[in-house]
């Protein structure tokens, strides 16, 4: 039911309008972090992702943080089960990382910053 094209559609009309977004979409790293409200895991994940991005991808990434509680229909559209969920939309291939992103090495591998074979 859900294919990648739908994912694009599903977020097109989201409330992130403005030039920021248009600018951000030109950046090489397109990241989206889904969280569930202000749970412990959510807060930890946000902190960890922000920290990693600033450390390794400064100026090259666009991070969108979405609270699934606010947009419940997204859960089905995006095949969300476990939270927090970090989706790397670009560069391809798309990757999905779950957890509070405390395992830095795994996150970096998942984002393609660190070579996976290492």
* Positions that interact with another protein (CB under 8 A): 1-2, 34, 36, 39, 41, 44-45, 48, 68-69, 72-73, 75-76, 79-86, 95-103, 106-107, 109-110
- Closest to another protein by CB, 30 vs 74, is 74
Strand 85-90, strand 61-67: pairing: unpaired
Burial class (CB in 10 A: 0-12, 13-18, 19+), 31: buried
CB-nearer residue toward another protein: 4 or 18: 4
Q: How far is the CB of 109 from another protein (least distance, A)?
A: 7
CB of 24 to another protein, least distance (A): 23
Q: Take residue 115 and report the two structure tokens written for it.
A: 């070579």
Q: 70 burial class (0-12, 13-18, 19+ CB within 10 angstroms)?
A: exposed
Using an 8 Å Cβ cutoff, are 100 and 36 in contact?
Answer: no
CB of 87 to another protein, least distance (A): 10
Please identify, using beta-carbon distances, which residue of 34 and 62 lies nearer to another protein.
34
Least Å distance, CB 115 to another protein, is 15
Asked whether the beta carbons of 53 and 63 are under 8 A apart, the reply is yes
Q: How far apart are CA 37 and CA 39, in angstroms?
A: 6
Among residues 13 and 18, whose Cβ is nearest to another protein? 13
């Amino acid at each position: 039911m859900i294919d990648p094209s739908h994912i694009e559609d599903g977020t097109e009309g989201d409330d992130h309008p403005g030039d920021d977004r248009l600018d951000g979409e030109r950046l090489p790293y397109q990241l989206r972090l889904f969280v569930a409200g202000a749970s412990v895991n959510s807060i930890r994940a946000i902190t960890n992702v922000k920290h990693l991005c600033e450390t390794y991808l400064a100026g090259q990434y666009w991070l969108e943080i979405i609270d699934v509680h606010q947009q419940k229909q997204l859960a089905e559209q995006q095949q969300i089960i476990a939270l927090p969920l970090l989706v790397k939309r670009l560069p391809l291939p798309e990757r999905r990382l779950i957890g509070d992103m405390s395992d830095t090495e795994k996150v970096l591998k998942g984002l393609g910053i660190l070579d996976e074979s290492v």
